Amino acid sequence: MPTSKSDLAKLTKLGKPSKASRTLEVFPNHAPKGSMEVTLYCTEFTCRCPLTNQPDYAEIEIVYVPDKYVVESKSMKLYLETYREEGVFHEHLAMDIGKDFVQFVRPKESIVKVRFNSRGGIAITAEWKYKK
pLDDT in tens, 41-100: 999 999 999 999 999 999 999 999 999 999 999 999 999 999 999 999 999 999 999 999
Domains contained in the chain, CATH given: 26-131 (3.30.1130.10)
Catalytic residue positions, numbered: 49, 56
Question: How many whole angstroms separate alpha carbon 112 and alpha carbon 30?
Answer: 23
Supply the pLDDT for residue 43: 96
Burial label, 111 (beta-carbon count in 10 A; 0-12, 13-18, 19+): middle
> What is the number of H-type helices and E-type strands within the chain?
3, 6
